[in-house]
Structure 1
Amino acid sequence: MDILMTIWNYFATNVLQQPAFMIGLIVIIGYILLGKPWYDVLAGAIKAIVGYLILTVGSSGLVTNFRPVLVGLKDRFNMDAMVIDPYFGQNAVTAGVEEVFGKGFGQAMILLLIAFIVNILLVRFSKVTKLRALFTTGHVQVQQAATAYWLIMFACPFLLKSNLQLLIVMALVLGMYWAVGSNLTIKPCQEITDGAGFCMAHQQMFGIAINYWLAEKLFGKKKNGKEVKKLEDVELPGFMSIFNENMVCTSILMLIFFGAILTILGKDYLIAQKFMLETDSMVFYVIKTCLYFSVYLAILQLGVRTFVTELTQSFQGIANKLLPGSIPGVDCAVIYGFGAANAVPLGFLAGFAGQIIAIALLIALKSPVLVICGFVPVFFDNATIAVFANEKGGVKAALILPFFSGLCQVFGSAIIAGWVGMAAYGGYLGMWDWAVVWPVMTGVMKYLSYGGIALIVIVLAIIPQLQYRKDKEGYFLITEDYEAYKEKKAGKVA
């Protein structure tokens, strides 16, 4: 048993928690199942791993670039508060889970393994479960396993008597959330990417599905049948036409908003915090810092283009031989290579405005839990939602829905983190599903006990069945043959 745990810990640490190598492993398995020669397998794995590492450079660069603003807002305004961010949330669990519940953090990694097996089994029996998506984003699984570990122990203290019972219940709920959530994003992703063959496996899967639906219902086609105007359709007049180019638009918007914040923080503060040197020019430091947002977005998009092709092609081997009709769930940043490029910075800024207003209201209402916005939720949630909202609802949806997302992230996180006690340890995951969906699930389990657990499992199981009943002919066709799906859909419309 010790040998098996050692092997699992090694695999979990070096592969499962490292999404680049997890993606590389999937590509290797997929190409082998397709019967590719060894040199094509090797080349595909290298391109997939390198592509994902490029994406990681872009993502981490965005986070690092935002750090002076995040730290400055906290220090300059004496805000001692909880940070909503996946990494702060994971650290909070690590720091407090043993003190609060008497359980070690190591069990969260066992939970991850069992929940992943549940996800695989649900997809393997897709004809019954109607689930088609495999959650492959390893670092996100770690963060979610940690937070779910805390929430379920808080909601179901009666499970603490038996480690086995606790892990089974947790793994069933979390594994079904992964499978059902990523499955909900299949249609939106296929429609935006024209059948690229992946879906989202991140922190806002229910958020994507709900906002995609809201965008269509609230902002979609007009009564006269005209299409809504999307961001990519907007032709700005005169000098404003420069905003039609994503790189220019992002750079100017960041200069306006974050340049102003950095200027308010001041040169002395930035030097004291070692963000800049005394010999640096404040003007050019601000310009360079803001322009780096465009640099990292360009790097991120390059990484997407590099690895997505290999992943989707190789996954056909896994889908054909092991998990028929399935597709991989990937990081939300992958969608930024598709759809409207300007939706990314505009969605980010709309969500940021929502978060700032929500934080101001918490302060005004003297909330016992104050929140500091972390970059990961405010950017990756709201930029992602904007891309999907723009596809169905155009410009208005791409601005309004991320704004309300920002409000939900702050208010939902403050309520749940304060209630379950995570706020005392400085952080909460804070992204859309974990600020909206999981607080509801936690409340149901808390107040209905075993009945609450059963209710959540049943509801999650029913969701894909309802999706299937809505479009029986196209449900599996959309992943197996997207061109045929489009033809069938066009025939129905005609």
Structure 2
Amino acid sequence: MNILNFIAINIIGEPAILFGIVALIGLLLLKKSFPDILMGVVKTIIGYFILVIGCAPLQEACTPIGVWINGLLGVKGITPQNWIIMSATTAKYGSEVGLTVLVAFIINLILARITKLKYVALTGQILVIWASFAVGVLGGYEGVSTFQIVLFAGLFCGIYNWLAVAVSHYFMKKSGRMTDEFGLYVTEITGIALTSWLAPLVGDKDKRSDNIEVPESLEWIRDTTVSVSIVAMIIWSIIGIIAGKEAVEALSGGQNWIIFLLFLGFKFGAGLTVVLYGVRMMLAEIVPAFKGIATKMIPGAIPGLDYPTVFQFAPTAVFIGFIANLIGGIIASFVMVGIGMKTVILPAVWMNFWTGGMLGVFADAYGGKRGNVVMNLILGFLTPFGWALAYPLSGFLMTTNATADYTDTSTIGYLYELIAKFVFGK
């Protein structure tokens, strides 16, 4: 049991190790030379860690916004935070989570091998987070055995993980503006599908975010690092000023509050730049290596990768999508307070970035910059209501005062909760 948990959590659930192993197996199957194998594996792992390093300044820039907005709301709401529910669930149901990850991964591999849908989910941390959600829901029911939890949650996650990559790859390929070499495993297939279907109705795919015509004096706008940093600096400053000097100084660490606000924008721009560099480095190695697995073990297999792997296709759309998604989420929180809902979901600023940025790329490909803004505003607003609806059925997770913050938690996750209640409820 301990060995299986170790494999599930520390190998399958650790992206750097999982990607490195995938690169190693693929390059071995391609019969590459030792130097090529060594460079491919090391660059894959380093590319991932560069991506992670870029996430730190992004999170540093996003966190204060959530604190200030929550202060303005003046309520104690539910925190949308995957890491909280994962930590709490693995602490109490560690064996069940580990076995669920392993069972789900095996089911995914079998389905990819025997069906025409050759998709394999490889985003390690999301494999663990989604399994934690599935296990945590069942943990709220009395008398449910470890075997029942692992079987029920493992089957759900295995099928879902397989189909999630298939859906994302379908819309990536169909867009003609991304790639068909890989898909996404991001548990956001509801948002991806709705965005891809509806963005053409509300936007114009020929008027893309990265193709904005500007005069020569504003040519700097075309540089993603510069434009994103400056716009972020302006937006952060506005929110900080609304929150007030005292609220900003509480997080500034003694730095002048105005300078602190300005630097947050630059941190965001720097973080996004590093993430994009890490993504390109990792993909340059992992995608060719995965073809070895696709050729020998699962013919035609396509990997499902993480959010930022699509950021490269429309960097400006990432930032626009984030801001629109965040605004939608903020409005939703204020509306929940205004209408007196029992469950109030606080703004999920960190997830607004990942979800909004990723959906921004899809919306931009299918509906241009207007489609990006409209779809992210709508989904950013509606998704928290889905989380509020799902929260009372989230079992053990209710003890954490947090909810999983994926788009699919509010749709497919809610359906899973209803089925679990029907099967295990008394």
Q: Same fold (TM over 0.5)?
A: yes
Displacement after TM superposition at 1:434 (Å):
1.0
1:131 aligns with 2:117: yes
1:301 aligns with 2:303: no
SS in 1 for 2:343: coil
Matching residue within 74, 83, 89 for 1:87? 83
Match of 1:256 in 2: 234
Matching residue within 171, 174, 183 for 2:166? 183
Aligned equivalents of 2:357 and 2:51: distance in 1? 16
Q: Is the 8 A contact 1:369 1:423 kept in 2?
A: no
SS in 2 for 1:189: helix
Aligned length: 423
Identity %: 26
Match of 2:355 in 1: 381
Matching residue within 339, 358, 361 for 1:365? 339
Question: 1:394-434 CA distances to partner (integer Å, 9 max, x unpaired)?
Answer: 12211111111111221111111134353452211122111
Match of 1:171 in 2: 154
Displacement after TM superposition at 1:282 (Å):
2.5
1:199 aligns with 2:202: no
1:315 aligns with 2:304: no
Aligned equivalents of 1:38 and 1:207: distance in 2? 42
Q: Is the 8 A contact 1:85 1:375 kept in 2?
A: no
Question: 1:41-62 CA distances to partner (integer Å, 9 max, x unpaired)?
Answer: 1110000000010111112321
Please identify, of 432-441 and 288-297, the stretch whose mean Cα deviation from structure 2 is larger.
Answer: 432-441
Displacement after TM superposition at 1:167 (Å):
1.7
Aligned equivalents of 1:82 and 1:161: distance in 2? 26
Structure with greater Cα Rg: 1
The AA in structure 2 aligned to 1:62 is L
Displacement after TM superposition at 1:287 (Å):
1.1
Displacement after TM superposition at 1:252 (Å):
2.5
Q: Is the 8 A contact 1:85 1:430 kept in 2?
A: yes
Matching residue within 14, 17, 21 for 1:21? 17
SS in 1 for 2:346: strand
Measured at CA, do residues 321 and 22 of structure 1 come closer, stay the same or move farther in structure 2, by a change above 3 Å?
same
Unpaired segments ≥5 residues, structure 1: 99-103, 222-226, 451-494
Match of 2:134 in 1: 148
Q: Is the 8 A contact 2:191 2:359 kept in 1?
A: yes
1:276 aligns with 2:259: no
Aligned equivalents of 1:151 and 1:13: distance in 2? 19
Match of 1:457 in 2: none
Unpaired segments ≥5 residues, structure 2: none
Q: TM-score, normalised by structure 2?
A: 0.92
Question: 1:21-52 CA distances to partner (integer Å, 9 max, x unpaired)?
Answer: 21111000100011011121111000000001
Displacement after TM superposition at 1:162 (Å):
4.0
Aligned equivalents of 2:43 and 2:10: distance in 1? 19
Match of 1:232 in 2: 210
Aligned equivalents of 2:386 and 2:227: distance in 1? 31
Q: Is the 8 A contact 2:321 2:372 kept in 1?
A: yes
Q: Is the 8 A contact 2:90 2:97 kept in 1?
A: no
Q: Is the 8 A contact 2:45 2:282 kept in 1?
A: yes
The AA in structure 1 aligned to 2:291 is Q
Aligned equivalents of 1:172 and 1:9: distance in 2? 17
Q: Is the 8 A contact 2:8 2:101 kept in 1?
A: no
